[in-house]
Amino acid sequence: MCLAEFPMRQGGTLEVNTKYHDLAQEQQRLLKQYLEHSFNNELDLLKSFDCLFEKHAGHLRVKEIFETVEVWKKVVSHLQRCNETRKSQNLEAVSRIYDIASGHGLLAVLLAYRFPQVQVVAVDREKRMGFDHYVEVVNEFGEAEPGTESCLANLSFVDVHTAENAAFVCVHGCNELNLDVLKRALQKRAVWLVVPCCIREGLSNISVRCAATREEGDDTRHALMCGMIAAQYQASAIASIDRRITNRHLVIEGDAAFVVSPDHSPQNEHVPSAKKRSRWRAEIYRVHLIIIDPPVHAWQAVLDGPGLLVSCIA
């Protein structure tokens, strides 16, 4: 990606408030080129964005476009993998997706377009104006499924009310929201994907303290906290989008249909073999403090009980 050509903040990530109409002509061309590549030249979506750029450019933040499209790719791949695994184990495929803290709603719109047979529910405290604009242009250029009146007939914006065979997606939900989404996913044995934003102290029994520079310490702490969340909720993978888009770039994926209980016995009798699942499990130790000291490639874990020093050299 040509992210270096776009306005950047001091920390090396995209400027938050830059909108499409703020871009120079060459930058606008590069953004459209990126969308062509990301959507594999899919004309319906490209025409929709051309219309957005022309009519509603004031609602389009460049960072949000890159961020949403990159996360959308991760969600699509994750859902496809989970559905294939579920099919092989005679489990039902995902029939509903909840985009929690949907915000501008672009992710929900793109998911509804990509999965026309799946009900997509955007959930937030209020609907932003941009959401209706996204729906309007995709309905204008997208092709409706047989028996439906519009391309996005499977998309809605409502208060949360979860159903079975669901998938939960939460991008940059803050603090407790990430854990609330994961707990609900476990209850519903659902596919889930979260991109955590703020993870404050007190959400885990483990305290993480990072020295180094502010930026390095923050990145290290965030990575450790995401790793602990992944272990606690038995994620199947941790991925990332380009950090130049956002410094909250880690993507945690899982499917609660195949969660292993604390006694290491499957909660679902259809759990695939280890070879098929290709997933990992972290053994739980009574860690209560992690200290990060310069150099940042070394870390120390202090256990509740006999001390243990673990050093990782990059």
d(CA 126, CA 159): 9
Element (H, E) at 65: helix 62-88
Element (H, E) at 157: strand 155-157
Residue segments in the chain with a per-residue pLDDT below the cut of 70: 1, 159-164, 202-217, 260-314
Q: Where are the domains of the chain?
A: 3-203+212-285
pLDDT of 270 reads: 43
Q: How many CA atoms are closer than 13 Å to the CA of 186, on its beta-carbon side?
A: 15
pTM of the model: 0.76
Identify the CATH number of the domain defined by range 3-203+212-285: 3.40.50
In sequence order, what are the beta bridge partners of 97? 120, 167
224-282 pLDDT, tens digit each: 888 888 888 889 889 999 999 999 999 999 998 887 554 444 444 444 443 344 343 33
pLDDT of 173 reads: 83
Question: Which residues, including other chains, have CB under 8 Å from residue 120's CB and lie 6 or more apart?
Answer: 96, 97, 99, 108, 111, 112, 154, 155, 156
Helix (H/G/I), strand (E/B), else coil: 232: helix
Quote the radius of gyration of the chain (alpha carbons, Å): 21
pLDDT of 11 reads: 80
pLDDT of 119 reads: 94
- Exposure of 126 by Cβ count < 10 A (0-12 exposed, 13-18 middle, 19+ buried)? exposed
d(CA 210, CA 216): 8
